[in-house]
Amino acid sequence: MRIGISTSLKHDTPREWADKMSALGCRSVVFPVDYTAPDSLIADYVQEAKRCDLRIAEVGIWKNVFAIDKTERQQARQRALAQLRLADEIEADCAVNVAGTWGGPIWDGGYAQNYGKEAWEKIVAYIQDLIDTVKPKRTTYSIEAMPWMYPTGPDEYVKMIEQVDREEFSCHLDVVNMINCPERYFFSGDFLDEVFDKMGGYVKSCHLKDIRLRDELTFQLQEVACGEGTLDIGKYMSLAHKCDPDMPMIIEHLNTDEEYENSLRFVKEIMAERDIK
């Protein structure tokens, strides 16, 4: 298994970045610069990642390709094209984004317009067009599931993969984002089994975090660091490892380098307990 963190840590050079990641025990990374970086800098990061056996798990897009504002939408789509090309150039496992929304101003927000036939068909058509335009050979494009945006669970994700019908469309798995109702929360172990039973063959990389129920009305779920919630992190990692012994799992959404380092230590303890290499 290739554990990593989504932060690039404080560093001054690509070599320092790679050495710091390796010293922490990371074996996968999120690429630390985007397509606007100089070609020479991109090449240096790739070279240093190879030197330290750091697998480039993902290239982030993280923009709303269906934004209401025309300029924002065009810029988001240009970034998606360029980031997918970058991912292909550097042989990342995937370039990843959310599906997008035209329901309101929040780029990844929950709106009624995120659901229904029109939303589904627009998402599928956009993914097909993006892949057909870039024609990636060494990477894949993937969508991160969201609690309030297609795909919200394994059945929708598999259906989307089948309807997009492109080998270059894969799954970037964020299980916590799919836990969006009491059933999935209280029976998250069963949900983990369902996710990997249905989606395991499509998964290229995973995000690693935890979730807990807040003690107030109404039903409110909170994303937290690994070990601070109720998700069986060991089971999640074991299922991912069974799916692919070299699976990248990226710890994300923490605030400081120290928090990432602490979370990484916790995860490595779980790996040792489960004999996950």
What is the rounded average pLDDT for all residues in the chain? Answer: 98
**Helices marked H in the chain:** 14-23, 39-51, 70-90, 117-134, 154-164, 175-178, 182-186, 188-199, 233-243, 257-274
Mean pLDDT of 162-171: 98
Mean pLDDT of 115-141: 99
Q: How far apart are CA 56 and CA 138, in angstroms?
A: 12
Confidence of residue 117 (pLDDT cuts 50, 70, 90): very high
pLDDT of residue 103: 97
Domain that holds residue 138: 2-274
pLDDT in tens, 4-57: 999 999 999 999 999 999 999 999 999 999 999 999 999 999 999 999 999 999
Confidence of residue 236 (pLDDT cuts 50, 70, 90): very high
What are the b/e assignments for 144-160, b being 16+ CB within 10 Å? bbbbbbbbbbbeebbeb
Nearest to 147 by CA among 170, 181, 122: 181
| CATH number of the domain within which 224 lies | 3.20.20.150
Q: Report which DSSP code applies to 62.
A: -
Q: How many domains does the chain have?
A: 1
Confidence of residue 265 (pLDDT cuts 50, 70, 90): very high
Judge if pTM exceeds 0.85.
Answer: yes
pLDDT of residue 271: 96
* Exposed/middle/buried for residue 277 (C-beta within 10 Å: 0-12, 13-18, 19+): exposed
